[in-house]
Chain A
Amino acid sequence: MWSPVWLIVLPLLMAFISVVIKKQQYLLLNLSILLNLAVLYLAPQGMVIIGGFRPPFGISLNFDRYAFISLLLIQVLMLFATFIAGPLAKKYGTVLLVLLAGINGMLLTNDLFNLFVMIEVVSIASFIISTSNGKFTHTFHYLILASVGGVFFLLGAVMVYAYTGTLVVQGLFATLGQLPNAISLIPMMLIILGLAVELKLMPVGSWAKNIYGNSNVLTGPIFAAVLAPAFGFVFGRMMGEVVVLNPITGYTLLFMAIATFVLGELAAYRQKDLLKTLAFSSIAQSGLAIILFTLNLPFAAILLLINNALAKSILFWVATGVSTAYETSSMKGLRGVFYNHRILGITFSIASLSLVGIPLFLGFYAKVTAVMAIFTTGLIWIPVVILATAIIEGAYMMKWLLQLWSPAKEGHLASTEEVPEKREALNMTQIVAVCLVALILFVFGLVPQRVGRVLSVASQAEISQVETVAEGGGQ
Chain B
Amino acid sequence: MTMIFIFLGLSLLLSYVLSRKQPTLGAYFTIIASLAGLISVYLLRNSVGVTESFYYLNFQITTIGWYFAMILLTVYFTSAFFNPFWMDELIYPAAYNSLYLLSLVGTIGLFFAQDLMTLFICWETAVWSSMLIVQQGKSRQAAWVYFVISAIGSMSTLFAVLLTMYLSGTSEITGALTYFTTAPVAGALVFGAFILAGLTKIGIFPFHVWLPLAHGSAPHTFSPVLSGGLVKMGAYIAYLSVAVFPAYQVFGDSLKIQGVPLPIYGLMILGAASIVYGTLRAIQQEDAKRLLAYSSVANGGYILIGILMMDQMAFAGGLMHLLNHAVASAAAFLAIAAVAKRTGTTKMSELGGIIHRMPITYTVYLIAIISMAGIPPMGGFVSKWLIFQGLSEKGLILLATAAAFGSIGSYMYVFRPLSAVFLGQLAPKYEHIKEANPVMVTAMLILTAMSLLLGVLPNLVLKTIAKIQIELGINPIIVNGTATLTENGSVDMLQVFTVFGFGFLLILILFMVLPKSRRVGLMDTYTSAEFIHTPELLHYGHSFYAPFERLYEKWPSVLPLYKRMSMKLSELGEWAESFFFHPDPNRAVLWIVVVAIVVIIGGAQ
Using CB atoms and an 8 Å cutoff, list the residues of chain A in contact with chain B: 137-138, 140-141, 144-145, 148-149, 152, 181-182, 185-186, 189, 193, 196-197, 202-210, 246, 248-249, 252, 256, 263-264, 266-270, 280, 339, 353, 358-360, 364, 367-368, 371-372, 375-376, 380, 383-384, 387-388, 390-392, 394-395, 398-399, 402-403, 405-408, 410-416, 449, 472-475
B6 part of interface (Cβ distance < 8 Å): no
Bound Cα distance from A415 to B587, whole angstroms: 47
Bound Cα distance from A248 to B163, whole angstroms: 28
Q: Is the CB of B91 within 8 A of A206?
A: no
Chain A minimum-CB-distance residue to B591: A203
A-contact 0/1 string along B223-257, CB 8 Å cutoff: 00000000000000000000000000000000000
B439 part of interface (Cβ distance < 8 Å): no
B165 part of interface (Cβ distance < 8 Å): yes
CB contacts (< 8 Å) of B147 on chain A: these are: 394-395, 398
CB contacts (< 8 Å) of B573 on chain A: these are: 263, 266-270
What 7 pairs between A and B have smallest CB-CB spacing?
A: A203-B591, A266-B573, A248-B602, A263-B576, A270-B570, A359-B121, A185-B603
Kindly provide the distance from the CB of A300 to the nearest chain B CB, expressed in whole angstroms: 12
Taking CB atoms and an 8 Å cut-off, the chain B residues in 76-121 that contact chain A are: 89-92, 115, 117-118, 120-121
Using CB atoms and an 8 Å cutoff, list the residues of chain B in contact with chain A: 56, 58, 89-92, 115, 117-118, 120-121, 124-125, 128, 131, 135-141, 143-144, 147-148, 151-152, 155-156, 158-159, 162-163, 165-166, 171, 217, 569-574, 576-577, 580-585, 587-589, 591-592, 594-596, 598-600, 602-604
CB contacts (< 8 Å) of B138 on chain A: these are: 411-413
Q: Is the CB of B600 within 8 A of A269?
A: no
Bound Cα distance from A399 to B143, whole angstroms: 9
Partner of A203, one of B144, B588, B602: B588
Q: Is the CB of A185 within 8 A of B600?
A: yes
Kindly provide the distance from the CB of A50 to the nearest chain B CB, expressed in whole angstroms: 33
CB contacts (< 8 Å) of A376 on chain B: these are: 166
Q: Is the CB of B141 within 8 A of A410?
A: yes
Bound Cα distance from A210 to B583, whole angstroms: 8
Chain A interface SS verdict (over half): helix
Q: Is the CB of A182 within 8 A of B603?
A: yes
A sample of 21 inter-chain contacts (CB < 8 A) reads A144-B585, A149-B592, A152-B592, A181-B603, A189-B603, A202-B580, A203-B592, A206-B591, A248-B599, A263-B572, A280-B577, A359-B121, A368-B117, A372-B165, A387-B158, A394-B148, A406-B91, A408-B140, A410-B141, A472-B165, A475-B56
Chain B minimum-CB-distance residue to A349: B132
Q: Is the CB of B162 within 8 A of A368?
A: yes
CB contacts (< 8 Å) of A413 on chain B: these are: 89, 91, 136-138
CB contacts (< 8 Å) of A280 on chain B: these are: 577
Give the interface centre of B128, B141, B583, B588 by most chain A CB atoms within 10 Å.
B588
Partner of A392, one of B217, B569, B589, B598: B569
Q: Is the CB of B91 within 8 A of A415?
A: yes
Given A387-B156, A394-B148, A402-B135, are A372 and B580 also a contact pair (CB < 8 Å)?
A: no
Partner of B572, one of A144, A266, A364, A402: A266
Bound Cα distance from A410 to B140, whole angstroms: 6
Bound Cα distance from A353 to B128, whole angstroms: 10
CB contacts (< 8 Å) of A372 on chain B: these are: 162, 165-166
Q: Is the CB of A206 within 8 A of B603?
A: no
Partner of B125, one of A359, A390, A394, A395: A359
Q: Is the CB of B148 within 8 A of A395?
A: yes
CB contacts (< 8 Å) of A264 on chain B: these are: 576
Q: Is the CB of B56 within 8 A of A391?
A: no
Chain A minimum-CB-distance residue to B58: A475
CB contacts (< 8 Å) of B144 on chain A: these are: 395, 398-399, 402
Q: Is the CB of B140 within 8 A of A252?
A: no
Q: Is the CB of B583 within 8 A of A267?
A: no
Partner of A206, one of B163, B171, B581: B581
Kindly provide the distance from the CB of B117 to the nearest chain A CB, expressed in whole angstroms: 5
Q: Is the CB of B592 within 8 A of A148?
A: yes
Kindly provide the distance from the CB of A159 to the nearest chain B CB, expressed in whole angstroms: 13
Partner of A140, one of B572, B585, B595: B585
CB contacts (< 8 Å) of B584 on chain A: these are: 141
Bound Cα distance from A473 to B57, whole angstroms: 11
Q: Is the CB of A193 within 8 A of B140?
A: no
Bound Cα distance from A266 to B148, whole angstroms: 14
Chain B minimum-CB-distance residue to A373: B166
Q: Is the CB of B576 within 8 A of A395?
A: no
Give the interface centre of A196, A249, A263, A388 by most chain B CB atoms within 10 Å.
A263
CB contacts (< 8 Å) of A193 on chain B: these are: 592, 595-596
Q: 4 extra interchain contacts, Cβ-Cβ under 8 A, other than A140-B585, A202-B580, A249-B603?
A: A148-B592, A269-B573, A280-B577, A411-B138
